[in-house]
Amino acid sequence: MKLITHPPKHLPPQRSVILKWVKNTISSDEVKDELASRFKSIYALEDIIGTSNTRNRHIRIDLGDETEYNTMLNSGKVTIFGQLLDCDEYLPAPKLLICSKCNLPGHIKKICSNSQVEMCRRCGKNRNDGENHKMCEIKCHHCGGIHTSTDYICPVIQKYRRELVLELRSRPDLLPAQAQLFIPPECREPEQRTRVLENKAAQHEQQLKINQQPQRSCIKFNYSNQNQWPSLPSSLSSHATVVCEDNVM
């Protein structure tokens, strides 16, 4: 039996870096070849969807080695073909739970009461009607736009996503201590420049627990114990060393 492995496209975002403002004249393969000699643990490298414009785009880099990740992140800059590019920590944006039955966010298929049939995310019809729904017309049944009903460009999905970000911003205690989420530009308030969602109170409490853990202490030698080997006189110490060396030779 021949087994074919399918490795993941990305590693978890704990060791991911975003390379900013890479010119479109430089391909992703050229960036990877240029960085391979300095960072040997690069696992994946690809353009970030939605960041490309007529001049440049952002690139996500996944690193397997923590030391190389910290080196790249702490430097804040990376040189590519003589150009100095900014690099920053990659933070994943909040993902939505979307029902596979009605294609609306916020719940799962098991508790869905919005539809009696499983709706196709392309055309909005019954997905089990016997037709080929891989080639059906793409028309969102939420807003009527030319996109799938689960696409993040849908106004209905964007509205729910924005409300979710606002709720998490007002209740950061709902996030675990190790979670750091990127706030998309369309979900930010004009007067607020914060681009990261995190639970600072939980992070501080976690750090206090780490600092309060007992440290291992070295075992001190008890020189008052009479059962220990006595020390040799200074006149014999050098002789004993010579004898040992002769035995080794």
Per-residue pLDDT reduced to its tens digit, 24-47: 999 999 999 999 989 999 999 999
User: Is residue 127, in this structure, part of any structural domain at all?
Assistant: no
Domain assignment of residue 172, yes or no? yes
**Model-level pTM greater than 0.75?**
no
Q: What is the mean pLDDT of the chain?
A: 81
- Cβ–Cβ < 8 Å for 81, 19: no
SS3 127: coil
For the chain, percent of residues with pLDDT exceeding 90: 37
Residue 7 in domain: no
Is 246 domain-assigned? no
CA 104 to chain centre: 26
- On whether residue 43 sits in a domain, the answer given is yes
For 219-230, what is each residue's pLDDT tens digit? 554 545 555 555
CATH number at residue 59: 3.30.70.330
Class of residue 51 by CB neighbours under 10 A (exposed 0-12, middle 13-18, buried 19+): middle
**Among 90, 89, 28, which residue's Cα sits nearest to residue 57?**
28
Please say which residue of 89, 124, 145 terminates a domain. Answer: 89
The band of 201, judged by pLDDT with boundaries at 50, 70 and 90, is confident
Confidence of residue 103 (pLDDT cuts 50, 70, 90): very high
In a domain, 145, yes or no: no
Q: Would you say residue 31 lies in a domain?
A: yes
Domain extent for 190: 162-211
Domain count, the chain: 2
- pLDDT of residue 200 exceeding 60: yes
Task: Determine which of 72-76, 196-200, 216-220 has the lowest per-residue pLDDT on average.
Answer: 216-220
**Residue at which a domain ends, from 89, 112, 130:** 89
Highest mean pLDDT, choosing among 30-39, 47-56, 208-217: 30-39
| Residue 35 CB contacts under 8 Å (≥ 6 apart), including other chains | 42, 45, 61, 78, 80
Entry field: residues in the chain:
249
Indicate the residue among 34, 56, 89 that finishes a domain.
89
Given a contact cutoff of 8 angstroms between Cβ atoms, the answer to whether 85 and 78 are in contact is yes
